[in-house]
Every structure is written in C-alpha cells, then in structure tokens.
Structure 1
Amino acid sequence: MKVRIAYIEEPPFYWTADDHRVTGADIELADVTLRAIGVDSIEHHLTSFEELLPGVQEGRWDMNVPIFVTPERAQRVAFSVPVWSLADGFLLLHGNPKALTSYAAVAARHDARLGIVAGTVQFDAAKSAGVSDSQVVTFKDQPHAIDALLAGQIDAYASTAVGSRVLARDSSELEAVSLGQSNAGRAPVGAFSFNRSNDGLLQAVNEQLRKYLGSADHRARMAKYGLAETELDSVSAS
C-alpha cells in the first residue's frame, strides 16, 4: 500500500534536509501513523502552500501534512482529528527595533511591514487586529519571507509561535515573540487533510491517531522538534 503525502518547506513541521531527506515533526508523525496502518511505501511531494488543498482535491496526492483547520478549508477537504494546537508568533530581527509584540502593535505603526505566507490564517488574524493591506507583504513560502526579514524588507514574519522560536533559536540574527491564545481563548488546531472521497484512508488514520496522540512516544518525537506539551495536550484526547 502506497500513500502520497504533500508537504511544504516550513521547519520545524516539514522540510527538505540538506541530504534531500524529507523530515520534520509532522513528517515523522505521518510516517509513524501510516506505517502503523499497514502503509509500506510513503511518497513525499513538495508543493506550495496554495497548492496543498487543490492538489489533494484533484488527486495529485492522497493527503496533506497538517495545516490549520478553518470552516472554509473544511468545505473543500476532509480533516483528520487535530494533531496540535498552536498560537501565532512573530519572527523578528534581534532586538525587535519597532517593538512589535502583537498584531495590534503592527497596526499602530504605519511604518511596520508584516510578512505573511499567502493564504495562511495569519493574514486573517492580522486584518482582524487592524493591520492594513499596505502593511502586509505576502510571500509564497517561509524561506522567502525569512530572506526578506533578514534583508530588512519586512519588520516581522507571522507564523506559529513554535516555528518562530525554533527558527530564532538557531539564528543569532533573529528573535521570536509569542502572540498567545486567540480571542476565543484557545489556539487554533491543525490536522492532516484528505480528498473528501477518500474516507477509507481518513478513517484508518483517525483510528491510529486516537491511539497514538498523547503517548510517551508521541511526546518524545515532537519534543525533538521543539513542540511543547501544551501544544499537544489540548488535542491528545480528540
């Protein structure tokens, strides 16, 4: 049994290592889960964020790595049970010269430029906080956004808190700021996604995830990539 899974370049969740091996927290979770349900061949497809949902809808691959679940996305694909719950965060140049500690802080400074990967939930969060269109610079992927940050073309890059802190940990030029929970009091959740007609694979993955999430092995594997237990606890019983 072979499963084709699409991913993008976004450490620590999924990325292509220097040795061309596909790795990351969610890649490892997918591998453990799929092997447990009898999959003997896993084929990784590198794509862009904007192609994840169309690709699985059109059958170019069988499933996507976890992304945030939204009502709009759930109309297009079938999501698995949640695998993590993550707050937003900013990646900034060391020293945070414009004191950008929230979306509202960005909105309050008309000279602040916020980098966001096109189509991500961070765009809606920024707009809800009053960040103007003229302040937002969109990118096709995380590597391009980080290059722009290092070049001084943007003042902050908005993604997840865990992603920001892991990237900042590995760079003397960068620092991270966690933006905390959403206004609803709970960080949004992420899940694998599937073609809505692929119910057999979805149900098999869900059954295994329910057994595995929150286990000692799961926590140890995720900790290697910087995910804290609080980012796993709220979904481990889903």
Structure 2
Amino acid sequence: MKVTIAYLEEPPFYWTDRDHSVTGSDIELADVVLRAIGVSSIEHHLTSFEELLPGVQEGRWDMNVPIFVTAERAERVAFSAPVWALGDGFLLQGGNPKALASYEAVAARSEARLGIVAGTVQLDAAKSAGVSDSQIAVFKDQPAAVAALLTGKIDAYASTAIGSRALAGANEELEAVAHKMSKEGKAPVGAFSFNKSNHGLLQAVNEQLRKYLGSSDHRARMAKYGLTETEIDSVAAGEK
C-alpha cells in the first residue's frame, strides 16, 4: 500500500532537510501512523499552501500534512482527528523595535507591516483585530516571508508561536513572541486532511490516531521538535 502526502516548508512541523530528506514533527507522526496501518511506501510531495486543498481534492496526492481546521476548509476536504492545538505568534527583528506582540499592536501602528502566508488562518485573525489591508503583505510561503523580514520589508511575520520559536532559534537576527491566549482559553486545532471520498484511509488513520495520540512514544517524538504538553494534551484527551 502506497500513500503520497503533501507537505510545506514550515519547520518544526514539516520541511526538507539538508540531505533532501523530508522531516518534522508532523512528518514523523504521519510516518508512524501510516506504517501502523500497513502502508509500505510513503512518498512526500512538496507544494504551496494554496495548493494543499485543491491538490488533495483533485487526487494529486492522498493526504495533506496537518493544518488548522476551519469550517470553510471542512467544506472542501475531510479532516482527521485533531493532532495538535496551537496558538499564534510573531517572528520579529531582534529586539522587537516596534513592540509588536499582538495583532492589535500591529493595528495600532499604521506604519507597521505584517507578513502572512496566503490562505492561512492568520490572515483572518489579523483582519479581525483591526489590521488594515495596507499593513498586510501576503507571501506564497514561509521562506519568502522570512526573507522579507530579514531585509526589513516587513516588521513581523505571523505564524504559530511554536513555528516562530523554531525559526528564531535558527536565526540569531530574529526573535519570537507568542500571543496571549484568547478569552475562551482554547487554541485552534490542526489535523491531516483527505479527499472526501477517501473514506478507507481516513478511517484507518483516525483509528490509529485515537490509539497513539498522548502515548509516551508520541510525546517523546513530538518533544524532539519542541511540541509540549500544551500543544498535545487537549487533543490527546479528546481522543481517549
């Protein structure tokens, strides 16, 4: 049995390593789960964020790496059980010269420029907080946004808090800041996604996720990439 999974260049969740192998917390999770359900061959297909949903819808690959679950996206694809819960954060120039620690802080400074990858949930979050279209620079992918930050074309790049930490840890010119949790106190969840007609693979993946999420092996593997109990506990508890 062969499965092709599409991924993006977004560490620590998924990226192409220097030796051209594909790695990351979600790549490792997919590998463990797929092997456990009898998949003998796993192929990885690098794509853009904008192509993730159309690609799996059109059958160009079998499943996508986890992304945030939204009602709009769920109209297009079938999501697996959630595999993590993540809050947003900013990647910034070292010292955070404009003191940007939230979307509201960006909105309050009309000269501040915020980078966001096209199609991500961060775009809606920024606009909901009052960030104007003129303040937002939209990029095709994370590497392009980070390059713009390094050259001063934007003041902050909006992503997940854990993703921002990983990027800051790899570049001494940058730093990360996590956004405060919402009043509801619940971070949005992410999951693998599939073509809605691919019931067999979705069901098999879900059955294995329910067994595996929150296990000691799962926690140890995720810890290597910086995922902690904060990102895992709520979804693991929901699968027990």
TM category, shorter: over 0.9
SS of equivalent residue, structure 1 residue 168: helix
**1:171 Cα offset (Å):** 1.7
Give runs of aligned pairs for residues 66-81 of structure 1, distance below 5 A: 66-81=66-81
Q: Aligned partners of 1:111 and 1:184: how far apart in 2? A: 30
Greater than 6 Å deviation, 4+ residue runs: none
How high is the TM-score relative to the length of structure 2? 0.98
The alignment yields a C-alpha RMSD, in angstroms, of 0.7
Aligned to 1:205: 205
Q: Aligned partners of 1:134 and 1:76: how far apart in 2? A: 30
Q: Which consecutive residues of structure 2, in runs of 5 or more, have no partner in the other structure?
A: none
Q: Aligned partners of 1:167 and 1:101: how far apart in 2? A: 16
Give runs of aligned pairs for residues 107-118 of structure 1, distance below 5 A: 107-118=107-118
Paired residue type of 2:178: S
Give runs of aligned pairs for residues 6-45 of structure 1, distance below 5 A: 6-45=6-45
**1:3 Cα offset (Å):** 0.4
Q: Aligned partners of 2:171 and 2:101: how far apart in 1? A: 19
SS of equivalent residue, structure 1 residue 235: helix
Q: Aligned partners of 2:182 and 2:87: how far apart in 1? A: 7
Q: Aligned partners of 1:180 and 1:48: how far apart in 2? A: 29
Aligned to 1:217: 217
Q: Aligned partners of 2:44 and 2:170: how far apart in 1? A: 26
Q: For 1:128-181, what per-residue CA distance to the aligned partner results, in whole angstroms no more than 9, with x for missing partners?
A: 000000000000000000000000000000000000011112221011000032
Give runs of aligned pairs for residues 1-238 of structure 1, distance below 5 A: 1-238=1-238
Paired residue type of 2:212: Y
**1:57 Cα offset (Å):** 0.3
Count of residue pairs the alignment pairs up: 238
Q: Aligned partners of 2:86 and 2:181: how far apart in 1? A: 8
How high is the TM-score relative to the length of structure 1? 0.99
